[in-house]
Structure 1
């Protein structure tokens, strides 16, 4: 086994990870629906559709605006984005502590340490994460959940070379591959959205010319403008360019760390190496938290 399976990580990580995924899903779905209702309101507000002496288009536009208002109130009160960011930071902090512990990195080095004291330090650090998170995103933990699992203890007792191999494969290489993949995916999405918005702007220009020539009797430029504004708002929510840059830099820094992985020859040197690697990963998490704060 090259890595620790998710179910063998501390309970706080698994709970916070589930909460973060739920918060992200709620934010993205609600934001998408809100932007969609605003575009719908702009579209139906651009023309009239009389049915039985009622302007059905105006009714639909009003209903869309009412839905947008409800969704906005939900975003302001439930704050799924805040829940997502707080829970994700807590999950990654717990994961970092777990890897420091099993690999023998600072402050859980294996050189002459009192193992009971090390275990107690880990539990106190994890407990602090849970207490800091609870006011923002309460996460239930069952009685069966363990903060310190048997797999974590077994891995920590392995020889240095084996811990080194597992840490590099299960943590550093895995994280670097994830960063690289996410950087490329975000860059592709940013490019596609830029092209789509450029095409939309061109269509808006054509529509404005046709309106000016009295060829169209519909406020098509207004509709296109609403679509463009919605697209820009979505890009700002997802922050494709910023994330692509941050992930690329993190992957590069982890690549440099991998190149020095064989240098530490003692437990003390290895503990400092793990600390440096985790600090590199933590810097990306701090940047992510700032961008989603």
Structure 2
């Protein structure tokens, strides 16, 4: 039994830590701006539900609506100029590539096999990370310098790599495959629940909008008109679903979890370094396929 604790992501290569941080920040900024934009539209439609009679009330209503439209315009320009979406995707791509490379290094898999001396393995790892970095030149400009200045190969990575074959196999199964499987399963269920919740919101909003139309038909002189408000709720929920892609993510995570489950069932057949190297490579390829599918869906 190995005695090493689970490696923390902060102990991965500095390029992973920096790109992961950049991606998460860009994602948060991008999603937050979209959310504020949608909320602005909801507020604008909400204040228009009542037909105010006084000139002063209408003037206030127009000022508020104009302010919200201006805010929406500014947010659109910010999204265009800051390119949060591109940073999010590129950062995720670089981070996942570096993470896979880190696990391959620690497990002495392809490129970093048991037959390769440690110093040569280190050099190969550094060279490969530099190659990956050159594929994302625009991203490199915004990566946190402080994070990049941390070790490219950490002591924790060396400690894991120094484990015996049996201990490395156990460590990899528990801290990579099982951990990733649980993450996929949890995220798959989360996205399934969110998908169903947002569709419930859409159905309710469309139903209430239809009821509002019936109300207006029966009371054409009413000063209340909720059609636009609930239609906006429905449209905003659909836009949010398109942004978050819960259904596609649920399917991708479920598939990846099942594939890893099949791969780990072959662990007992590992008898040497060559078999283990191939086992790790197959597992990392399964994780990479999930990310490639995620990236393709995001860019559609």
Instruction: Give your verdict on TM over 0.5.
Output: yes
After TM superposition, list the pairs within 5 Å mapping 1:187-226 onto structure 2. Answer: 187-214=192-219, 216-226=222-232
Q: Does residue 235 of structure 1 match 2:237?
A: no
State the shift of 1:39 in Å: 2.1
- Asked whether the 8 Å contact 2:201–2:234 carries over to 1, the reply is no
* Counterpart position of 2:103: 99
* Counterpart position of 2:47: 44
- Which of residues 244, 253, 261 is equivalent to 1:247? 253
Q: Does residue 125 of structure 1 match 2:131?
A: no
* Counterpart position of 1:82: 86
* Counterpart position of 2:64: 60
- Asked whether the 8 Å contact 1:2–1:170 carries over to 2, the reply is no
For residues 48 and 196 of structure 1, the distance between their equivalents in structure 2, rounded to whole angstroms, comes to: 26
Q: Does residue 22 of structure 1 match 2:25?
A: yes
For residues 39 and 67 of structure 2, the distance between their equivalents in structure 1, rounded to whole angstroms, comes to: 12
- Asked whether the 8 Å contact 2:51–2:224 carries over to 1, the reply is no
For residues 151 and 33 of structure 1, the distance between their equivalents in structure 2, rounded to whole angstroms, comes to: 41
- Asked whether the 8 Å contact 1:3–1:167 carries over to 2, the reply is no
Measured on the aligned residues, the alpha-carbon RMSD in Å equals 1.7
- Paired residue secondary structure (2:269): coil
- Paired residue secondary structure (2:139): coil
Q: TM-score, normalising length from structure 1?
A: 0.94
* Counterpart position of 2:157: 152
For residues 107 and 5 of structure 2, the distance between their equivalents in structure 1, rounded to whole angstroms, comes to: 12
- Number of residue pairs matched by the alignment: 292
Q: TM-score, normalising length from structure 2?
A: 0.92
For residues 44 and 197 of structure 1, the distance between their equivalents in structure 2, rounded to whole angstroms, comes to: 20
Greater shift, 215-224 or 42-51, is seen at 42-51
Q: Give CA-to-partner distance per residue, 1:25-70, whole Å, 9 cap, x none.
A: 1011100001111222233345454464752111111111110111
Gaps of 5+ in 2: none
